[in-house]
Amino acid sequence: MKAVFKRKPAKGMELIEAPVPKIGPRDVLIKVSIASICGTDVHIYDWSRWAQQRFTPPRIIGHEFVGRVVKTGEEVTYVKSGDRVSAESHITCGHCYQCQNGSAEVCRNFKLLGVDHDGTFAEFLVLPEHVLWKNDSDIPDELATIQEPFGNAVDTVLSEDISAKTVLILGAGPIGLFATGIVRACGASLIILSDPNDYRLAIGRKMGAHITVNPKKHDVVKIVMDATKNNGVDVVLEFSGSSQALNQGLKVITPGGRLSLLGIYERMVNIDLNKEVIFKKIRIYGITGRKIFSTWHKTSRFLSSGLVDPTPILTHQFPLKDYEKGMKLMREGKCGKVILRVDG
């Protein structure tokens, strides 16, 4: 089978011929139809600081996909040959304290698909059945493949009620753009989107942002305060991983407001906890992964009902062999979400 492979601890990857993986008694063999590129995959390709600390080659990469079951182990009961599936990328143990207390997304022993376990940028993939998700027939493949990152946006937005709230979204990468559509669908009264990329801000307007701001050109704090009549926003959703953006967000949260953090920071972040958090009584949520599997149900319903239409975000498609073209576009910020046609 063809697969995108990270062979050594250096920049780059390669397209290889690899053997079709074998299954165990509780495993499922899946023929991948479409995979989508995540920023994590670009970090691994570029051999960034994060990748050097977290990823150990050799490994087939990728963790977002949709495909068909082609073979099941003898103890598998949940899926059968022909089922169209995606999967939770956190392969959890099911036995640790977190798994047994409703927080499997922070399993102590999880393995991450495409990082600790061979991933989805391949014609075939083997996964344990307990992480599989049967896709709604009303969701086309192009949308089924994005449910994993879409779920990140769902949990970030819905860590508290959002209806009729004023919201600042920091970062217009694909997940920030998904969040924009979710916030709009859930009835926010004002949506402000900040990002230094005008291409992505234009997509954000299609997804429902009322005001878009390029922080390289305009004063984010002033624009937010003017738009809210100096009250500040009820909610800040941080997707950028920029400490500057985070501090802007903290300045414009109204006292008693809520901050949800999904962005990953390269370095330690300095925050004036007294002034910006404690005395303002700000509630902060750290978001990682998705709730397994309650968030998948919400994600599926957002997409199958048409309540959120993310198609403006899906800007490019390539065959698997052209994966480098997609990564280049992501690195340059000249795309929304990039999907790879694995089945041709």
Query: For 82-103, b where at least 16 C-beta lie within 10 A, e where not — what string?
Result: ebbbbbbbbbbeeebebbeeee
Identify whether 156 is a catalytic site residue.
no
Instruction: Please choose, from the candidates 41, 54, 157, 71, the residue with its C-alpha nearest in 3D space to the C-alpha of residue 110.
Output: 54
Identify whether 90 is a catalytic site residue.
no
All residues at 6 or more sequence positions from 281 whose CB lies less than 8 Å from its CB, including other chains: 255, 256
Cα–chain center distance at 97: 25
Please state, in angstroms and as integers, the Cα–Cα distance from residue 126 to each residue in 25, 130, 132, 185, following that order. 12, 12, 11, 35
Instruction: Please choose, from the candidates 317, 289, 314, 323, the residue with its C-alpha nearest in 3D space to the C-alpha of residue 121.
Output: 323
What pairing do the DSSP bridges indicate for beta strands 84-87 and 132-134? antiparallel
Catalytic residue among 43, 210, 297, 316: 43
The overall longest dimension of the chain from CA atoms, in Å, is 63
| Cα angle value 141/66/59 (rounded, 5°) | 145
**Could you give the residue numbers annotated as active site?**
40, 43
